[in-house]
Chains A and B, each alone.
Chain A
């Protein structure tokens, strides 16, 4: 009955307004409370900004907080799909939450646009036509750093990450590209906040550089402790430990660190300028890469809505896959597994007008595609 009514409304809309588009309902599941909520808030704000700037009145966005718990995310996904009957899901920040939600949701025919998490399973064997990742595959930024280490002529890098899948993948990604030898390799405890012992190992190892992946508070703690340890070996890492939401908390200790990102606020393009300016005006702070990913996710959906009606899944999928939108990061296209093929930059942490932020200093890898694409059966 309900379906009949909405179909009727859609038919009415199509003939009166002349636009072949019913309202698109988007369910956003993201982390808005507890640890890691800055990421979710930035994704949401970036996403909403894009909708506002586009004046998209035919989009209905529903946002809910997953509190970083996989089962809560799963429950919300069920609610969005079964009760609110959304067309598209998006918003999840963490790989473990994505793995709880995405496989089931995409199998049931709901489209999922990932603005952040890109676990390797979803890029490879478990890839799905309904799943699009508009950020990166998890390994990408680490691979870029490995390639940067080669360019910077590092020969003996010490690498460390927490002992969980994203951590082991990070080190794997770095090693995939890095050609020098390792001064040492350490897995830390997830949630660890004292790194005195690890820093002592780094000092003793005679490394000429350090690569680390310690997201969130772990990275803040590591950088502060590293800065006062007297070890002066250069540090590098993915953007996650140097994004705009946590840089102020690290302070001067982060200055000069090289980090890899597919986006920077100083990329020169009309759309990026509009995004950065709009974000600062709307929210009174600098955007992070997470905000840029939320912004791109929304624009990707809007671009597909221009071309196809969301009720025709095949058409809409094809329109999404074309990725015919101006990404704030510059060139962007999807590979066979619906993951980005994109340039990844190296940024340096600098102080601008008293504010600590990132500046792009070069390109780490051009037109980079993830290592799992060949395992995906999609063409």
Chain B
């Protein structure tokens, strides 16, 4: 195990974490502003990927597909916000969990009815194919670097949006006192629809971007959803900064644990059991970490709300 390989794995962990951030950002935004747990966030991720794959297939352009994925997810988000989610803001978390759990079933089966059961083809654009040399790494896929940059850009834009724009000001005001800004004449209903659609758009963006690297199929959102929840809970729900740090933490722990736990265990036991026990432990690692963090900081690392 050379230093270069360790460095490359750290980079991989970082990249994996940032893909998680794309997913977690929308989730934590929606929770922070509206206090809503949205299990169907993974479905919006899936909608983004499917729209992107379908449009790319029809037009031959990945970039059009990417745009379509973002818009499609935003539209789906706005639609369910107006039909369903809106009625859930003043309900307790239990109702929110169940209603959005039901939305997962509806989205999954609906997508299957429209697109069929087969996974769709979606590949990265040729311009971003291939690898490039990085300091210490001889060949790193260009597209993965692109995802790193895209995630950082989303983080920056969200930061600017929330802290510098009028919409952001309203969002922050809505977070701290819903009644007050309604009394001040802000159309809170529309504001919430916009915020939810924004969260959905980010989920759609990550579905399209990451879908090109993984497989576009029904149910693709669920494993990512659970990881994203772990991320935002560790980071502190509602905090974009927390989501960023939480996702990098999870990405690093998961990736490095997966690779290095078996190696470390080999000092203590024979190869075969080190491999399987290492793999078993590493799949539990992030949940252990989450439990550990919450035991010490019950509201996550960067708690944004009270």
The CA of A353 and the CA of B63, in the complex, are separated in Å by 27
Partner-contacting stretch, out of A98-106, A192-200, A369-377: A192-200
Cβ of A163 < 8 Å from any Cβ of B?
Answer: yes
Contact A197 B9 (CB under 8 A): yes
Contact A35 B217 (CB under 8 A): yes
Cβ of B303 < 8 Å from any Cβ of A?
Answer: no
Cβ of A251 < 8 Å from any Cβ of B?
Answer: yes
Contact A249 B276 (CB under 8 A): no
Interface string of A188-230 (1 = CB under 8 A from B): 1111011011101101100000000000111011001100111
The CA of A214 and the CA of B139, in the complex, are separated in Å by 24
| Count of residues in A whose CB is under 8 Å from the partner chain | 42
Tell me the residues in window 187-228 of chain B with beta carbons closer than 8 Å to chain A beta carbons.
Answer: 212-220, 223-224
The CA of A251 and the CA of B118, in the complex, are separated in Å by 13
**Given A197-B258, A217-B217, A217-B220, A37:B8 Cβ within 8 A:** no
Cβ of A41 < 8 Å from any Cβ of B?
Answer: yes
Contact B141 A230 (CB under 8 A): yes
| Count of residues in B whose CB is under 8 Å from the partner chain | 49
Query: CB-CB < 8 A to A41: which residues of B?
Result: 117
Contact B143 A194 (CB under 8 A): no
**Given A34-B218, A196-B15, A197-B255, A204:B223 Cβ within 8 A:** no
The CA of A41 and the CA of B116, in the complex, are separated in Å by 11
Contact A194 B214 (CB under 8 A): yes
Q: Across the interface, name the chain B residue whose C-beta is closest to A162.
A: B279
Query: CB-CB < 8 A to A168: which residues of B?
Result: 276
Contact A217 B214 (CB under 8 A): yes
Interface string of B1-24 (1 = CB under 8 A from A): 010010011001101100100000
Query: CB-CB < 8 A to A34: which residues of B?
Result: 108, 218-219
The CA of A225 and the CA of B213, in the complex, are separated in Å by 6
The CA of A243 and the CA of B105, in the complex, are separated in Å by 27
Cβ of B170 < 8 Å from any Cβ of A?
Answer: no
Contact B258 A38 (CB under 8 A): no
Query: CB-CB < 8 A to A257: which residues of B?
Result: none
Query: CB-CB < 8 A to A249: which residues of B?
Result: 118-121, 215-217
Contact A200 B215 (CB under 8 A): no
Checking A35, A197, A221, A245 against B214 with a beta-carbon cut-off of 8 angstroms, the contacting residue is A221
Query: CB-CB < 8 A to A193: which residues of B?
Result: 214-215, 220, 223-224
Interface string of B250-267 (1 = CB under 8 A from A): 000001001100100000
Q: Across the interface, name the chain A residue whose C-beta is closest to B137.
A: A200
CB distance from B289 to the nearest CB of A (A): 15
The CA of A228 and the CA of B141, in the complex, are separated in Å by 6
Checking A163, A197, A224, A230 against B276 with a beta-carbon cut-off of 8 angstroms, the contacting residue is A163
**Given A229-B131, A230-B141, A249-B118, A35:B218 Cβ within 8 A:** yes
Cβ of B100 < 8 Å from any Cβ of A?
Answer: no
Query: CB-CB < 8 A to B109: which residues of A?
Result: 33
Query: CB-CB < 8 A to A246: which residues of B?
Result: 118-119
**Given A34-B108, A228-B129, A249-B217, A196:B117 Cβ within 8 A:** no
Query: CB-CB < 8 A to A189: which residues of B?
Result: 258, 279, 282-283
Contact A248 B118 (CB under 8 A): yes
Cβ of B112 < 8 Å from any Cβ of A?
Answer: yes
Cβ of A81 < 8 Å from any Cβ of B?
Answer: no
Contact B215 A228 (CB under 8 A): no
Extra contacts besides A187-B262, A187-B276 (8): CB < 8 Å? A33-B112, A188-B279, A201-B259, A220-B214, A224-B215, A230-B139, A246-B119, A249-B215
Query: Which chain A residues have a beta carbon within 8 Å of chain B's beta carbons?
Result: 33-35, 37-38, 41, 163, 168, 185-191, 193-194, 196-198, 200-201, 203-204, 216-218, 220-221, 224-225, 228-230, 245-246, 248-253
